[in-house]
Chain A
Amino acid sequence: MTTTHSTTRGASTDAPRGAATDVAPPSYPKRRPGRFWTMARRDALTGYLFITPQLVGVLVFVLIPVGLAIYYSLNDWNIFTGELSFVGGENYAALLDDPQLPTVLGATAIFSGGVVMLNIALGLALAVMLNRRFRGVTLFRTMFFSPVVVSVVAWTLVWGFLLQDNGGINGLLAQFGVVGPNWLQEGPTAMTAVVITQVIRSVGINMVLFLSALQGVPGELYEAARIDGARNSTMFTRITLPLISPTLLLTAIITIVGALQAFAQIAVLTEGGPGLSTTVLVYYVFQQAFEFNHIGYGSTLALMLLTFVMLLTVLQWQLRRKWVFYED
């Protein structure tokens, strides 16, 4: 550790100013910082150094690419010849003319909305059910968490089998004399299937997050409330929910981001069909950019998605003041 530490010091001498005095940094006494290098300033510098890898990562792998995406969106690109030609706002105008886009946006909204609501509701319900001691509780927690560790593609492949018209689910239904729908071939059932498989796969994470939050709620609160005669439902809405609201916010963010990036599920299960019914924006961007080779237009679509996410987050941030408890 010491090595890193002294490097830190060495680096500090190159920083803002002080180059005049610190000719030989290594021999400079460690415990006698110059007047400029007050405790607070050295501390701040350490802070900057600590966050540098993360900050640079975000800069190089997120912010610069976003800037490039904006640049690409103003160009047309022949992928075979590598020619880039400036087209100005043409790709943005194409957004308005794209007859598929409204359907894609609708599908994205339904998919993300469905996944987020179901995921949080089910995650919370499971957490409440499993937040007590009884025989087999660990086994149940394990079972509900297990799909999380199954690779998305493997999971989706299996569900692809099960959801075939002559697959396992309809076979099971047939045992009860029910003729199941042709799940992946009709818009509404295909969407339902994609949403549910996504929720089942990922709800385990939310369940555990909620479990952790629930265990953080002091038991005395419930005792007190019970003595005051509060009903279970009242206690849930008045004690549990407010106290775990920070977790709700966190899971909402994680789940939304996850839902908006659900690519493998769509690619393997439905390829966006039937029609465009399950073509969510991620999948559409992939098609445009990497299958149709419309990199400029794909970038434009991606930026539109970014705008949505930003707006949504700002909205959540604003609402947070209303419903997230720790904000006071």
Chain B
Amino acid sequence: MNTATKLVSLAALATSIAVATAGCGASPEAPVATTAPPNSVELRMTVWTSNEDQLALFDTIAEEYKADHPEIKSITFESLPFPDYNTTLTTQIAGGNSPDLAWMGDLSRDLIASDALVPLTDRLTETKGWDYDDLLGSVTSEFTADDELYAYPFSNSPFALYVNESLLAAAGQSLDTSDLTWDQVSAVGSAVNAATGKGGFVIRDFNYSSWNTLATVWTGWGASAWNKDGTKCTFDSDEMVDAFQFLHDAIYVDASMPGPGTTADFFAGDSAFTIAQVSRAALLDGSFEYDVYPLPDGPEGEYSVLGQAGVGVLESSAHVQEATDFLAFLTNPENAAKLAQFFPPPRKSLLTGEKLAENNTKLTADQLEAVVIDQLPDAVTLPNHTSPAEISQKAKTALDAMWTPDADVKAVLSSVCTAIDPLLAT
């Protein structure tokens, strides 16, 4: 009976939504003036890493900052799952539960375009000892609009070619590293597949869905997803057709790339090569001999591709002032050096093989010099545009037709343009 009454009253809760507010909603923080009273500011930063060491580093930096800033009550780092980081962040913003700072990948263009980010250039330039000119130009461009920086590119991880030397040896193959080309990678991959049944080369995270990772291949053919100002699709260019023809042949003719629906994890020893970011070296567990090289040459020669992540302050934060100040602290030369053990930094002063190798147990200074330092200045980023989710889905839908043995490569690529051109134009 007692429970029943309780349940009745619980059900009655629903009758008036307003009553339900008394539930467990997060109370909105009061807006603060420039000089916030002590212990009044709670900052929250969304990140997609769940790596304990990385989170611990962030916590240490936050503790240091708090020691000098009495107004800060707490700084929390909220790990959101990577696969739907964008959706979750957007939902938080739309739901009025916006974080103060956020990591961002391909959502940055949307955030910048809708004025959701706080401009940083003036603030960082004015900060003593921050040394704005130390930033590498090639890595800031993705987060810059009208000469204004909106997010600090804390991670700039070039894509590299990982090689499973043990598997190559088992298949009686070896790599001529003086002339590392895609054709050679495909040929060796094909031979490994024939000899061992394992996969040839795998574009990590592509999974026949995230096509933007294929930029690590098509850039070598001189192709790009769209033109420089992002208004016109260039999937139907001749270079792109050649690049996709190469991939198609690799899957269906040479069997050097595992086809759709086949799971082959390089880091579990399932494939001879993988194209992945340098930061993925953390996944190497020592179960096989490996090496790492810059991306193989394409018909257009050498090239390098970069995966980036930035951190910015959201306009919808209740503490824009304090959040921006913390961002400046988090990214100052001293802390940037600490972050560099996990994320290749955007600062010229930190970009030497020795410095990066100090905290990297998987790769040597020479390897890092070759695959990071030498690549960064000229690297292109993965395709980035406003409305990333929609462009991604529309292009993926069209591109699915590519992954059958008798696909018409040129026609499929034209259909990609038909699908995404309307989105690019807006």
Contact = CB atoms under 8 A, between A and B. Distances in A.
B396 interface: yes
Interface string A258-298: 00000000000001111110000000000100111100000
Contacts of B1: 1
B42 interface: no
B408 interface: no
A79 B87 CA distance: 11
A274 B15 contact: no
A168 B260 CA distance: 16
Given A165-B261, A182-B261, A60 B17 contact: yes
Interface stretch (A25-33, A183-191, A308-316): A183-191
Which of B396, B400, B404 gathers the greatest number of chain A CB atoms within 10 Å?
Answer: B400
B209 interface: yes
Interface stretch (B121-129, B156-164, B279-287, B387-395): B387-395
A100 B398 CA distance: 11
Contacts of A274: 260, 400-401, 403
A4 interface: yes
Interface stretch (B60-68, B109-117, B184-192, B336-344): B109-117
A185 B403 contact: yes
B50 interface: no
A81 interface: yes
A186 B87 CA distance: 28
A291 to B, nearest CB: 5
Contacts of B400: 273-275
B357 interface: no
Contact of A164 (B5, B114, B263, B389): B263
A3 interface: yes
A121 interface: no
Nearest to B110: A80
A78 interface: yes
A218 interface: no
Contacts of B26: none
Interface in B254-274: 259-263
Given A275-B397, A290-B91, A185 B14 contact: no
Given A4-B5, A290-B91, A60 B15 contact: yes
Secondary structure type dominating chain A contacts: loop
A164 B93 CA distance: 37
A136 interface: no
A100 B397 contact: yes
Contacts of A183: 261
A164 B264 CA distance: 11
B262 A165 contact: yes
Interface residues of B, number: 37
Nearest to B113: A80
Nearest to B390: A292
B11 interface: yes
Interface string A1-28: 1011000000000000000000000000
Given A60-B14, A291-B87, A185 B389 contact: no
Interface in B57-110: 87, 90-91, 93-94, 110
Interface in B131-163: none
A166 B397 contact: no
A276 B116 contact: no
B61 to A, nearest CB: 28
A47 interface: no
Given A1-B1, A166-B262, A273-B209, A79 B397 contact: no
A165 B260 contact: yes
Contact of A61 (B14, B87, B94, B390): B14
A61 B380 CA distance: 49
Nearest to B398: A275
B208 interface: yes
Contacts of A275: 397-398, 400-401
A58 to B, nearest CB: 10
B397 A273 contact: yes
A52 B404 CA distance: 57
Contacts of A56: 14-15
27 contacts: A1-B4, A3-B5, A53-B12, A60-B14, A80-B90, A80-B110, A81-B114, A163-B261, A166-B262, A182-B259, A182-B261, A184-B261, A185-B208, A185-B259, A185-B260, A273-B209, A274-B260, A274-B400, A275-B400, A276-B397, A287-B389, A287-B393, A290-B87, A291-B87, A291-B393, A292-B389, A293-B94
Given A53-B11, A80-B110, A185-B259, 5 more contacts: A52-B15, A60-B15, A185-B208, A290-B90, A290-B91
